[in-house]
Structure 1
């Protein structure tokens, strides 16, 4: 068989992707996550439909959901392959669970013509063309890096394939199928504990019947005791019935209870009739009112709703305006404080500047006394000297006083500036920078105007609210006047008004019925005796005595009914005694038959297993010889490997001791498992089915990989090889060895 073309219409990450393969060795290179595994899963899915094996009901594997298309709603594809010189195309729609097998030459669907075809069997294409199930296909013909070891079920199927291959004289014989058939027969018979199977069901029925037979004697005794108890209870009942007679006191007590209940009913009926008569009167009066008055009433109802809505809206607006007014009032006083403090700082700052100028003037005018002092000092004029000295001392004193006042003023300015900055969270600036960059927050004309405007709005809202209240009072008075005409106090809604107007007839009928019932009650009961009965002051102890006797009678009746029911139940059980005994004898015969049949099946299973083990053990030496030869070549030194009858592996180490497969390196173990599978494929499956390897040589070194590639190239002369890899070294080795191959790059 040769796979010619894959058409991944919608599968996993691929959309309308066509991949062509050639005869012999095909190398498909792709980096991780490029879709290599998706491609060989597509091959498996087209042939086997992702259906779980060995299940009676249709179930899909996890791969069905895993490889849903990333884009698009379709989930389908096809494979073109060639076998026995004929080309076929398998088309599969994974969503609808439908598949078709076409003859590529004629384009016709040949599925129904194939032997064993069943549309419900999703695995049919693979089972027909490969002759094996999906489990064996994915475990043998697909070799993956992480799935090289074989599970127990795979080993069992391979052992069966070896048995079939050896038993050439019995071409139709399948040890695995025969064992499965015998095991199914054995399971169908079941065990004594499996109650749903024949043997267990019969055994369970017999056990129940034996228990029933054992209990029949107890049932007979219980029946006799029940009869005796029934007679005693019936005698007790006769005595109680003699005591059971209604006393006069009890009769009077019950009569009073009935009359009081009837009086309550009478009072309730009178109240209901009065209420209905009021409604009839209102309804009658309502019909005498003109339609214009009713329309006006309804209009007034609507007006009241509108007035209420306007009132709520204006009240909300007034509340919002009042909140804004309070905020403006607060801001006004806040800004006043800032303005006053700012002006005070500004006033002291200007005063400080004036002091500075005065000091400058004094320094300027101090030049004259200083010159006089110097002149008199050098000229010797004593009078002028003293005068100039006095003047100079006065100037110095004045300067000192001014400097002291200026320092005090500066400290005050600095303190007030700091206080203003801290209180109102202003930037930290000098007094000069503050006066230059931050003008006082005056209450501007716009704020004053807004304050006045809001006050006017609030006054307007008050006027409008007063007007709405007057309107509401007027409309309410009009409604009350209308209700007075129809003898109603509470305001009626439009729906209540309409209901009252239209229900006059039904109210009258109800009232008539209530009066009729009242008349019947008054005729049935003599209420004139009620006061008399109430005055009798009946003793409750007499009633309690009656109730005690009555309770005993009820209890006695309950026990008699239970005993009669139990006796009726026991009588048929006694009749079943003979029937149950005969049924137990029949069951013993059937149980013996199934036990003998089960022993025969177990003997047949043991014989087949013995024959199967003897047959496939003939292959063990050949597999061991092949493993030792090829592994010696791979290792570059002599190697002895042994594989047991359960595919368990061991090898001979340098100390001439056989070591289990757990001691092998992961790379060596992978190579051995690949060689075992290749041997089994060559021995068991003579048909030239394609072989798929998905990153199977990840843990194989360069030298051993070259030897394995030579072997694959050798078998690719008669078997198609699909080698999936994420590395370039396979391509490099094949090129160096001049081996022909078909290369594809994803």
Structure 2
């Protein structure tokens, strides 16, 4: 893989910067602060972006803000690399909210993005996934090596250990013990255990067997219950047969009583017929009053009352009209003082003046801001040399950390819970007060019941039980509520204490943030960011500040001209409408208020005139209604043949008498029908003339209704018994259907028991396989360690001219070397800083060669040899010159030593000067 070209469209200090690399050695030379580290970071950013590793969300690293373009809103770049004969083009937009990665075939333009892995957390494709095949952490611990000048021996030793640990697994692409173990664990989890009842097949099977045994016990209980119900069913059927026999005897007696009673009914019917004839004569006499309509009388009374009410309303409307005319006259007098506003078309003119005034104020504020900027830029030119940007950035990072800590504390606030508890306390205290009232009433009830029992009747002692029981209940509830209230109060005290502690923590954080900002005489974090940005930009070029100063002064002249023009416009308009006050915001608002009052008077005048029209209209409508109601009243009189309300009332009384007699007639007819029943008079007469062939003395005193009632009761009893029979039969049927046959349950238990045994045997086999593979995995590590030891040993031997050649990697991934003189194993923390540095380089190089094999990835070095003396540097460059025959090497440096040594070694290289 060869990195061919970098195009920094907008990245850090660079704008449309292009850098070309070749195969072999590439030396990128630049003085301090020339942008070497920026270019190095650009390569990393193009492949990985600036995201924190091992997170499930899109979290940005500090590098995002550090390399955000200084004078541009874009954040964009292009990287070209070749692999296996194809030239790939990576385009990346770094800007938050617009992040995008595209990979093309640079020769054909074909979009190849789909070939690369997609990161769901970042929602972007990963350009490093296809040909580099390393994550960002491994990349920065192997093929990309940054400056090590700030690392102590201890830090170097720790980084070597961490670089190995971060790789994970066996470091061998042909061995994936973790994947095999994961698959076995998955199969074990797929079967499951007894503990995972609801989620695993084995657990579900155990639960199912338990359910089947319960079902079997239930089936046995149901069979016993069915036998008991069958005994009850046979007993009830015998009772039904006895009731039917009693019913038949009663029905026979009823028939005898009916025959005897027929004579009495016939005599009663004859009397009722005579009374009906007399009532018919009375109806003929009052028939003329039957046409009188009570509804018409009611309507007539309503119409008369409505006419009287309308006359009252007419008087009220006349008075209202007079008052409205007085209001019109008053409005006319008050609006005379606003006559100067007649020339103003509408409120928009006043609003435009107010808007112009706000624009004027804004431009004045802008002028002040520009004057401040001119002063700031002038001061910045003087102080830019003394600005400590690194310290300010560290302070900014500290402020952001403190704000995150503060937000975390606020997030855990329990104020909502405290409010709920206080409401609950108030509610329970109200209940407690009610209980106290109930307790007093109970005591009063007890005291009243005692003398009543002693002096009046002992039965009042029974009434004493009610208030006594209520008193006991209130005392118990009172105790429970007191206990509950004490619990709530304790919770409130605890929460208030925790909230005070949180508030104290927030105050400490606020004080530290304030101390940091006060160091720069700033009020918030954003001003600090602005100061850092301005200071950073100021450090780039003083000339840019001079140009900015000229631009600000030019803007100042333009603003001053615009302010004079706006002020003149406002003054001319206000003079036209006779405004004689000082021109300021309060007076212009006062002018607007007066104009609004003027409009309000006009509007009020229109509304009052409209009200007068409405009142006139209502008066006319009421007069028309009086005329209409009078016509309707006369129609009602003519229809009922009366002259006035009084005559109508008398006729209505006659009609009531007519209806009363009619109702009495209907009652007699109904009584006659009741006496006759289903028979006519001739039938009763015939029955009354029959001879009775049974003993009358036995049935003459019997009540036919009682007999029929007894029949009805027995019928109901029979129906109830039959319902019991039906319910029992339904229960027996339901119980029979509610359980499966015992033999079916036993068969299913047997089948699932066999399946349980099968699962247990399979689990035992899988666990044995997993334990065996884990044991073999440990043995594989023993085989792998010599491979890494040998590779790192070869590299360290080359770069130290044979001084160190034997390196060991322990099972705990600790790095130790064999001392060339004593032959003892020595921990690298006990070696010199230069030796640790060399070992650090050799270990990284060895790791990447082992894990990537023949995939010769580029090696990117950023001033990583600045601690080397000349001899060590020459040895390492010899090694790199040899290695450059198989892989691309990009070396960033601020010295000429590397170039001179490569010239001495007659090595070919591509030299790039970025100064």
Q: TM-score, length-normalised on structure 1?
A: 0.46
- The structure with the larger Rg is 1
Higher-RCO chain (CA-CA 8 Å, sequence separation at least 6): 2
Report the TM-score when normalising by structure 2.
0.38
